Amino acid sequence: MDFIERIFGLSPDGGSGLLELAVLATITAWIVARVMARRRVRVVRDPSGGVTSSP
């Protein structure tokens, strides 16, 4: 796991791969949070102007 070294030609983590792992963990956490946010209860306006919630 050394894509940063391959792309940029530098090794900010000394070749340990820790930075790449942190980048992947952050991206994965962001994706999971977005999916979970979309699955929450959505608020829908009904034609009469009221607000109802739907699963």
51 vs 33, more confident = 33
pLDDT in tens, 2-32: 888 888 888 888 888 899 999 999 999 999 9
CA distances from 38 to 4, 42, 52 (A): 31, 8, 17
Distance CA 34, CA 42 (A): 14
Where do the structural domains in the chain lie, given as residue ranges? 3-54
| Distance separating the N- and C-terminal Cα atoms of the chain | 40
The pLDDT of residue 49 is above 70: no
Tell me the two tokens of residue 29: 């956490």
State which H helix or E strand residue 54 sits in. strand 51-54
pTM, rounded to two decimals: 0.62
